[in-house]
Amino acid sequence: MDRLAAMETFVCVVESGSFSAAARLLNVGQPAVSKSIALLEERLAVRLLLRSTRGLTPTEAGLAFYERAKRAIEEADEAELAARGAGAKLAGRLRVCAAVTFARLHIVPAMGRFLDRYPELSLDVVLDDRTVDLLEEGIDVALRMGTLDDSSMTARKLGQARRLVVGTPAYFERAGVPAAPAELSSHQAIVYSQHAEAGTWAFRRDSAEVSVAVSGRMRVSAAEGVRAAVLADLGVTAVSEWMFADELRSGKVRAVLEEWSLPPVELWAVFPAGRMVSAKARAFVSFVEETMDSKRES
């Protein structure tokens, strides 16, 4: 049995969810996939997959084997790339994760250029505002915003953006424009509940620091909802300028209290702990950095 080929087949079955889907992806017959998994289980003397009418579910041993097999395949790919040198092509699948709104506004629209650059590479894009477990979800690289809590993670800072208090002209016409941070306590705040400092906004100007407790009739668990609420003239929010870049340029949304600063929002590329960063992941991160740099210059 070709051990690496068997690992690749098993990983493909787990990620695709069925023998038939894996067979299509691997361009082989379904019996060949079933036989490969059966021989692998026989060799390891352990059940890797539970088969039912609902599909396939990895056993505990299967999940452990999946993580290590995926890592072994990636390291084998990296060894081949290193041996071939600069002329090697990136191929296969890359699984990335990012926050929904940030990806919709800035990453997904640019993906055509990335895919054109690497025609043998395919992307599996997971959009989620939650902090996803990278190993459990099989993520190769995640884009995260904010301060990283886990210092053990392998991460690379890609940039940062100002955090602004924004609202629509219609809202400010109705509620008034705050002249100082303290006045925000009387405004309707659209609170993003996923943020660590959801109910308190900390401002600084020169040596002065002011923390304001904000409240409103809407707390929203996803940035997409925060955007929709602001654009519906329902209130103000404190958010990175990335989230309203086009609207700030067009005047559809207005920033206030700009003489005061809020803590900036950092953008990080985060990689699974204990796993070698693949060439595919590095290429994607470099592309994101390039994309965000071009937006800053435009």
- What's the token pair of residue 222? 């996803």
pLDDT value of residue 239: 93
For residues 250 and 234, give the distance between their C-alpha atoms in angstroms, rounded to a whole number: 19
pLDDT value of residue 88: 54
Question: pLDDT tens, position by position, for the chain (298 residues)?
Answer: 588 888 888 888 888 888 888 888 788 888 889 999 999 888 889 999 988 766 788 898 988 888 888 878 777 776 666 665 544 578 888 999 999 999 999 999 999 999 999 998 999 999 988 888 887 788 889 999 877 766 556 788 898 899 999 999 999 999 999 999 999 999 999 998 876 666 899 999 998 999 999 999 999 988 899 999 999 999 999 999 999 999 999 999 999 999 999 999 999 999 887 666 788 888 999 999 989 887 765 5
Sorted by where each starts, the structural domains of the chain and their CATH numbers stand as: 1-87 (1.10.10.10), 89-159+265-298 (3.40.190.10), 163-263 (3.40.190.10)
pLDDT value of residue 24: 85
**257 in the Ramachandran plot: left (φ > 0), alpha (ψ -120 to 50) or beta?**
left
Q: Which run of H or E residues covers position 148?
A: none
| Residue 277, C-beta contacts closer than 8 angstroms, at least 6 positions apart | 141, 154, 271
For residues 179 and 85, give the distance between their C-alpha atoms in angstroms, rounded to a whole number: 59
- What's the token pair of residue 298? 């435009």
Count of other CB atoms within 10 angstroms of residue 36: 24
For residues 269 and 249, give the distance between their C-alpha atoms in angstroms, rounded to a whole number: 27
pLDDT value of residue 149: 65
pLDDT value of residue 87: 45
- Under 8 Å between Cβ of 224 and 271: no
